[in-house]
């Protein structure tokens, strides 16, 4: 092959080769430069951008604490469920989806159709659906319909403990009862997870990962006894039906510790659906409601008189009539505007009565005579000492303080206060006052939560405050008087088979909206057993029973007896009332 | 120009001895060892990485399985608690004829005696 050589001696093939070489060199140089630029100059920035694309951060919601009764039975727990949602723009047949899903999920199809045809990018179909139901619906593979896991609160005891346990809202935040009182502890501390994911959203093994685990909420161990709680609720429901009453409330306290063994009422509500069958409020009247206690207040009046030495049990008050007129003309006209006329519930002849007779027969006139000897100042002092007019300090929150109406210038308030008018208390306050008598004169803070247990298993025990109210001797005397009420007085329906029981009936007319007393009453009974060494106090309030059941002895005492019997059996208390 | 001495005639063909030069083989053994170590290390690294990835996947699977089992356990706990709810049991017990006895028998045990003695029985019950 001949080699062409220019006249100048330059070989053109070599020139072309050199040019190609130069071009390739330049091209490689550009590539190399870009490589250097990307890998070295922009390296850290690009690496960071890539990492940010791969990194995903998710919050780790904490497990909400559980709530148990005193036997370890579950009252509230959080479980996983599925929330179904839709992207309206992707749903091809919104009418069909609304009808099918609405029917199966119990959602109004019209409302669902409206949601599915809205302009929004995200709408819930239904939140917190059972996982099996959600899987069934997702199996239909409807375009635009998705699900995501979401915790939901379950209350396996249903409405039995709903007034105490309360409930959470759809987002799992406490709204009522222990759920809101212990919200800070129950909800726990959220964690977070940071990890690298691939294009399919799967975590890259050995990739960057930083997990801050969520701290679960504390578990609450309550003092409630679920079977007793159920029995108390059933007794209440039965009496509400029998007596055509508006409501019934029961508190059961352990005398020595102040532990609330049961606290319930009727009507009740379902904490999962957050609805009451009759639309009644969720509030726990036992703690947050107040009522005029009527004759159950006489325990405090007589105990104060005995403790201060103003009277003895056998002190005789002569000529006790069944009517007492403290203001002239008060008893002449049946006019509520003129206060100062006091009558005993049953008419009787004027007679001499001992303090014991007055208490056992629940004489209003006699008790006012005792209060007169005691004096208003000392009576009010003991009313405070027994915990009325102030929150008990129970771990429930928004507790009613009650009302004590002893305004200066009120001529008859002391007399009204002595027999349970002009004062308003909560059922819990009255139960705690009676528990002090049962506990040899020591008043103890009622409490519902016995301990809180965190994830490490460490336990925090609830603090209990105690104080002396009356001497053990006075308390023992009062217990005998209470036994007399049940054995031969107004509270005979409160007797419990096999046990000596003590208690006091109370019947107070309800105040109308116009400030006048109505015919309707609030009937109550507070008592304890066994009377020689009380273990349990039960307070029952029946709101608005029919005329036949208008007294505490007729409506509240039978409920008391049923609940007390079950409480004593549940606690394994030895019978002391065998003849 | 001076005359150079004529070289001695060399024998043609055959072996000859070269003096002053040693036969040196290339030292490939260290290189082989280094290469072997390098390859082994590389393969080991790949194997370790793969094993770790497998383990990570298995761990993730196990975590998922644990989460599922915890969820199932939670549901079962709820089921147990629901089944133990007195509100469910009491009506069933009533349907089955289990009622609170109308008569209760209370027995006092005299600890001074060997055998329990019925002090009182057949007391009327509350229901």
Tally helices (H) and strands (E) across chain B: 2, 2
Dump the DSSP string for A205-262: TTS-EEEE--BPPPEEEES--HHHHHHHHHHHHHHHHHTT-SEEEEEEEETTT-BEEE
Q: What CA–CA distance (Å, rounded) separates B127 from B125?
A: 6
Q: What CA–CA distance (Å, rounded) separates A248 from A448?
A: 20
Q: Please state, as a whole number, how many other Cβ atoms lie within 10 Å of the Cβ of residue A314.
A: 9
Span A99-115, average pLDDT: 91
Q: What CA–CA distance (Å, rounded) separates A169 from A172?
A: 5
* Both structure tokens of A184: 């800070």
Asked whether the beta carbons of residue B104 and residue A227 sit closer than 8 angstroms, the reply is: no
Number of Cβ pairs closer than 8 Å across A and B? 72
Span B69-87, average pLDDT: 89
Asked whether the beta carbons of residue B87 and residue A158 sit closer than 8 angstroms, the reply is: yes
Interval A360-374: pLDDT, tens: 999 999 999 999 999
Nearest to B52 among A158, A205, A579 (CB): A205
Residue A436 pLDDT exceeds 90: yes
Name every chain A residue with its beta carbon within 8 A of the beta carbon of B99: none
* Both structure tokens of A156: 């396996």
Print the SS3 string covering A344-404: CCCCCCCEEEEHHHHHHCCCHHHHHHHHHHHCHHHHHHHHHHCCCCCCCCCCCCCCCCCEE
Nearest to B125 among A77, A206, A497 (CB): A497
Nearest to A160 among B52, B86, B108 (CB): B86
Contact A293, A300 (CB under 8 A): no
Interface probe, candidates A60, A151, A156, chain B, greatest B C-beta count within 10 A: A156
Query: Which residues have CB under 8 Å from B81's CB, separation 6+?
Result: A73, A74, A75, A77, A156, A157
Q: In chain A, whose CA is at the least distance from the CA of B85?
A: A157
Task: Please state the pTM of the whole predicted model.
Answer: 0.82
DSSP B7: P
The alpha-carbon radius of gyration of chain B (Å, integer) is 51
Element (H, E) at A466: strand A466-468
Of A437, A404, A397, the residue nearest A539 (C-alpha): A437
Asked whether the beta carbons of residue A231 and residue B52 sit closer than 8 angstroms, the reply is: no
ipTM of the complex model: 0.71
Name every chain A residue with its beta carbon within 8 A of the beta carbon of B57: 205
Compute φ and ψ for A353, nearest 5 degrees: -135, 135
pLDDT band per the 50, 70, 90 thresholds, residue B97: confident
Span A85-111, average pLDDT: 91
Element (H, E) at A77: strand A74-86
- The Cα of B59 is separated from the nearest Cα of chain A by a number of Å equal to 10
Query: Which residues have CB under 8 Å from B52's CB, separation 6+?
Result: A205, A206
Residues of chain B in Cβ contact (below 8 Å) with chain A: 49, 52-53, 56-57, 60, 71, 74-75, 77-78, 80-82, 84-87, 90, 104, 106, 108, 119-120, 123-126
What SS3 state is found at B9?
coil
Compute φ and ψ for A434, nearest 5 degrees: -70, -35
Interface probe, candidates B81, B92, B109, B110, chain A, greatest A C-beta count within 10 A: B81
Interval A209-257: pLDDT, tens: 898 999 999 999 999 999 999 999 999 999 999 999 999 999 999 999 9
Interval A295-336: pLDDT, tens: 999 999 999 999 999 999 999 999 999 899 888 777 876 655
Residue B123 pLDDT exceeds 50: no
- The Cα of A418 is separated from the nearest Cα of chain B by a number of Å equal to 34
What SS3 state is found at A493?
helix
Name every chain A residue with its beta carbon within 8 A of the beta carbon of B58: none
Nearest to A230 among B74, B90, B104 (CB): B90
- The Cα of B60 is separated from the nearest Cα of chain A by a number of Å equal to 9
Of A506, A511, A509, the residue nearest A540 (C-alpha): A506
Distances from the Cα of A79 to the Cα of A74, A146, A159, A274, B67, angstroms: 13, 20, 19, 17, 12
Interval A15-52: pLDDT, tens: 889 999 999 999 999 999 999 998 899 989 988 998 88
Place of tokens 């939670």: B74
Interval A511-567: pLDDT, tens: 888 777 888 999 999 999 999 999 999 999 999 999 999 999 999 999 999 999 999
Average pLDDT value over all residues in chain A: 90
Q: What CA–CA distance (Å, rounded) separates A466 from A444?
A: 4
Asked whether the beta carbons of residue B56 and residue A74 sit closer than 8 angstroms, the reply is: no
Q: What CA–CA distance (Å, rounded) separates A505 from A361?
A: 10
């Amino acid at each position: 092959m001949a080699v062409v050589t220019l006249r100048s001696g330059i070989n053109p093939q070599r020139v072309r080769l050199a040019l190609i070489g130069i071009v390739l060199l330049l091209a490689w140089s550009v590539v190399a430069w870009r490589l250097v630029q990307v890998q070295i100059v922009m390296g850290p920035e690009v690496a960071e951008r890539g990492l940010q694309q791969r990194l995903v951060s998710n919050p780790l919601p904490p497990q909400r604490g559980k709530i148990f009764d005193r036997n370890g039975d579950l009252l509230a727990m959080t479980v996983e469920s599925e929330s179904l949602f839709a992207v309206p723009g992707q749903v091809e047949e919104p009418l069909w989806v609304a009808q099918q899903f609405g029917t199966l999920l119990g959602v109004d199809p019209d409302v669902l159709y409206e949601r599915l045809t809205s302009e929004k990018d995200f709408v819930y179909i239904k939140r917190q659906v059972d996982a099996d139901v959600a899987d069934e619906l997702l199996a239909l593979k409807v375009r635009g319909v998705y699900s995501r896991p979401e915790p939901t609160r379950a209350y396996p005891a249903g409405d039995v403990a709903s007034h105490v346990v309360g409930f959470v809202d759809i987002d799992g935040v406490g709204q009522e009862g222990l759920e809101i009182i212990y919200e800070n502890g129950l909800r726990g501390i959220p964690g977070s997870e940071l990890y690298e994911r691939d294009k399919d959203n799967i975590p890259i093994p050995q990739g960057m990962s930083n997990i801050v685990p969520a701290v679960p909420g504390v578990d609450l161990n309550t003092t409630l006894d679920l079977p007793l709680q159920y029995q108390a609720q059933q007794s209440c429901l039965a009496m509400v039906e029998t007596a055509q009453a508006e409501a019934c409330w029961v508190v059961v306290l352990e005398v020595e510790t102040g532990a609330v063994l049961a606290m319930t009422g009727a009507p009740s509500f379902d904490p999962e659906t957050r609805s009451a069958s009759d639309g009644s409020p969720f509030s726990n009247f036992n703690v947050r409601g107040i009522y005029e206690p009527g004759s159950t207040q006489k325990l405090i009046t007589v105990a104060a008189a005995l403790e201060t030495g103003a009277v003895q049990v056998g002190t005789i008050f002569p000529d006790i009539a069944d009517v007492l007129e403290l203001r002239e003309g008060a008893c002449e006209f049946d006019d509520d505007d003129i206060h100062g006329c006091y009558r005993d519930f049953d008419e009787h002849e004027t007679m001499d009565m001992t303090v014991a007779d007055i208490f056992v027969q629940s004489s209003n006139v006699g008790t006012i005579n005792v209060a007169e000897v005691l004096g208003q100042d000392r009576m009010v002092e003991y009313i405070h000492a027994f915990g009325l007019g102030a929150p008990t300090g129970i771990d429930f929150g928004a507790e009613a303080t009650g009302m004590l109406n002893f305004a200066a210038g009120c001529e008859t308030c002391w007399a009204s206060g002595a027999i349970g008018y002009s004062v308003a208390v909560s059922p819990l306050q009255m139960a705690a006052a009676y528990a002090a008598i049962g506990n040899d004169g020591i008043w103890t803070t009622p409490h519902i939560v016995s301990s809180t247990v965190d994830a490490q298993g460490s336990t925090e025990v609830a603090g209990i405050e105690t104080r002396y109210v009356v001497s053990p001797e006075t308390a023992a005397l009062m217990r005998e008087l209470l036994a007399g009420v049940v054995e031969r007085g107004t509270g005979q329906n409160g007797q419990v088979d096999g046990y000596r029981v003590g208690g006091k009936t109370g019947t107070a007319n309800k105040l109308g909206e116009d400030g006048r007393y109505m015919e309707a009453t609030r009937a109550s009974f507070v008592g304890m057993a066994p009377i020689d060494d009380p273990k349990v106090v039960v307070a029952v309030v029946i709101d608005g029973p029919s005329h036949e059941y208008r007294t505490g002895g007729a409506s509240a005492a039978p409920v008391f007896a049923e609940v007390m019997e079950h409480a004593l059996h549940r606690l394994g208390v030895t019978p002391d009332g065998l003849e | 120009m001076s005359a150079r001495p004529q070289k001695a005639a060399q024998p043609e063909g055959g072996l000859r001895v070269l003096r002053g030069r040693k036969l040196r083989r290339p030292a490939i053994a260290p290189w082989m060892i280094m290469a072997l170590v390098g390859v082994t290390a590389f393969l080991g690294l790949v194997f370790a990485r793969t094993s770790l990835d497998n383990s990570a996947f298995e761990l993730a699977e196990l975590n998922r399985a644990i989460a599922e089992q915890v969820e199932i356990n939670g549901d079962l706990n709820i089921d147990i608690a629901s089944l133990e709810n007195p509100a469910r049991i009491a009506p069933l017990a009533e349907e089955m004829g289990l009622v609170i006895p109308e008569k209760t028998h209370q027995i006092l045990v005299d600890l001074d005696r060997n055998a329990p003695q019925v002090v009182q029985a057949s007391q009327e019950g509350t229901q």
